[in-house]
Structure 1
Amino acid sequence: MKQTCIFIFLTLSAFCFSWANKPEKEKRFNAEKDLLVMQFDCKTDVDDIHSAAAFKTLLSCPDFSAINYFAVAGTYGIQEGLYVPPNELFQQAFRDNWIDAHTNRPKAIVKMKNITLECLQNGGNVWIAEAGQSDFSAALIKAIQNDAPEINTSERIHIVQHSDWNEKVTSANSLAYVKANSNYHKIPDGNAVGNGTPGFRTPGYNDWQTKVKDTDLINLWELAVEIGLKYNGKNGRYNNEAVASGGLDFSDLCEVCWILGLQEMKDTDEFFNTFGR
């Protein structure tokens, strides 16, 4: 057991060291001054619940724990269907670093405008991982432009999207706006393996139970799995077959991996081998 623990520690340390020493152009994200925002639609697929747990797991790596980040729940677009309530899990994962746009979108936009402006006015860039649609991002960029028209949002705000479906259920005006007023990146879909980003949708996968060692992360994943099974396919919500089979789907995290230069990671198993600690 002692040798196994030493091996896991050395593997994680080597991985984080290699990331920290990547060239700046490959890393994209500047951890010293940039802001990482992950926006979750939570409607109607439960994959956002797993993605939030995976996001927190990644941030628990010592080399990423100092990243300036914020999470937003309820950033859905024009799609129909019921919401998947994430508040208990988000509070457990992110504490004070998240806001509920489902309950009060105008308040959330003002909050995020203030947070992003602080970063931008201090010389950093803002990176938004769209675990959902871009309607909230469009409203946020408009608010920033109204308050600080001198900021070139097309260069300083980077939006990353991996899903064709998410683009289709973003209102046409909002999608056109973010593409014109941000540095918009469409990357390969995180639901598949071997396409240039990690594939984090794995039916029947439950090996996280033996790979995750941190008690807080174990509790977080247990809650994520519980919420996912509770709402998956219920009352007309989308039936995620990977989740229904007892597996995991945190495909939206591929965007964060791309932002942080971790796009060479292969799949769910490699994620937990690396970050399960």
Structure 2
Amino acid sequence: MKQSCIFILLLLSTYCFSCANETKKEKRFNAEKDLLVMQFDCKTDVDDIHSAAAFKTLLSSPEFKKVNYFAVAGTYGIQKGLYLPPNELFQQAFKDKWADAHANRTKAIEQMKEVLLQCLQEGGNVWIAEAGQSDFSAVLIKAIQKHTPEINTTERIHIVQHSNWNEEVTSPESLAYAKANSNYHKIPDGNAVGNGTPGFRTPGYSDWKIKVKDAELLKLWQLAVEIGLRYNGKDGRYNNEAVAAGGLDFSDLSEVCWILGLQEIKDTDEFFNTFGR
């Protein structure tokens, strides 16, 4: 009888823990009032180009069409190497919902400060997916704090990072500031499968050509792949082997999946099976 009681208690504990996790996952992003920002360093790995196309694909699905979002290009830190011009792709994907921090960082900070403040002052939280480093985020948080010091950025601004390398090429001061002044989350790397987040780096993957049914999204992916091949490994840029092998790498989207509660998606093929239609 005692063993039966212990077994029942264990089952109840497991159930309660599972419920708590589900509740937490459901409350992570509030589509009614929160803002989703994806920041791309675009230097020097072409994975950001593929990640931007995947970001737009995800947000085009009926489930996430109402998500309030913004994209930023050129949010690089202290890493060396040449920039990957994403403007043609970003304009096609995001229209007027993106900022160019490479062309004018000061202007982009001011633009994004206003975008974030509109959300924060209306009671929403800001979720930043770092497809790159945290230098831009640190300056942006400082701008918010200076303009409206009563906003508690450690509770209202959430930063999600998946890459050790991105942290290593963020200036130490900026990384420390971002971690201390936001709700900073480090999640498993999106380059690998089976670690708790999707693995979106797949050499030789070309099934997107038949799985993306929307004509505009198909054009976007065609452009993303073309730009990726144009710049991959060129003029000293990083050579992404998955892209060189005719595949895709949108590993940074793992952060967006975590924010939206989609971290159980397995890999690239499952992504296109789910959102390509």
Structures share a fold, TM > 0.5?
A: yes
CA distance in 2, matches of 1:140, 1:76: 13
- Are 1:25 and 2:24 matched, yes or no? yes
Give distance in 2, aligned partners of 1:136 and 1:220.
Answer: 26
In the TM superposition, what are the counterparts of 1:35-54 in structure 2 within 5 Å? 35-54=35-54
- String of CA shifts for 1:65-123, please: whole Å, max 9, x gaps: 01000000000000000000000000000001001000000000000000101100100
Is 1:263 the equivalent of 2:259? no
Correspondence for 1:180:
180
Residue 23 of structure 1: how far off its partner (Å): 5.3
1:228 equivalenced with 2:228 (yes/no): yes
By how many angstroms is 1:24 displaced?
A: 4.9
CA distance in 2, matches of 1:112, 1:186: 23
Task: Give the SS at the match of 1:33.
Answer: coil
Instruction: Tell me whether 87-96 or 22-31 shows the greater mean CA deviation.
Output: 22-31
Q: What corresponds to 1:3 in structure 2?
A: none
* Alpha-carbon separation, structure 2, partners of 1:122 and 1:136: 23
Q: Which residue of 1 aligns with 2:3?
A: none
| Aligned residue number for residue 75 of structure 1 | 75
| CA–CA separation in structure 2 for the residues paired with 1:192 and 1:23 | 24
- Structure 1 CA distance for aligned equivalents of residues 134 and 180 of structure 2: 12
Q: Which amino acid aligns with 1:86?
A: P
Secondary structure, aligned partner of 1:255: helix
1:148-167 to 2 correspondence within 5 Å? 148-167=148-167
1:25 Cα shift?
Answer: 2.1
Q: Which amino acid aligns with 2:24?
A: K
Identity of aligned residues (%): 82
Partner of 2:82, secondary structure, is coil
Number of residue pairs matched by the alignment: 256
AA at the equivalent of 1:102: H
Which structure's CA Rg is the greater one?
A: 2
Structure 2: any 5+ residue segments left out of the alignment? 1-20
Q: Which stretches in structure 1 are left out of the alignment for 5+ residues?
A: 1-21
Pair 1:195 & 2:199 matched: no
Aligned to 1:168: 168
Counterpart-to-counterpart distance in 1, 2:136 and 2:179: 13
Output the CA distance in 1 between the equivalents of 2:267 and 2:63: 20
For 2:153, give the aligned amino acid: T
Q: TM-score when scaled to structure 2? A: 0.92
Whole-angstrom distance in 2 between the partners of 1:172 and 1:204: 36
Partner Cα distance (2:63, 2:191) in 1: 26
The one-letter code of the counterpart of 2:138 is A
Give the deviation of 1:63 after TM superposition: 1.1
Q: Tell me the residue number matched to 2:8.
A: none
- TM-score of the aligned structures, taking structure 1 as reference length: 0.92
**2:128 alignment partner, SS class:** strand
Alignment match, 2:66:
66
Task: Please give the per-residue CA displacement for 1:41-69, whole angstroms capped at 9, x wherever unaligned.
Answer: 00000000000000000001011001000
* Alignment partner, residue 219 of structure 2: 219
- What is the SS of the residue equivalent to 1:165? helix
SS in structure 2 opposite 1:190?
coil
Q: Distance in 1 between matches of 2:22 and 2:71?
A: 27
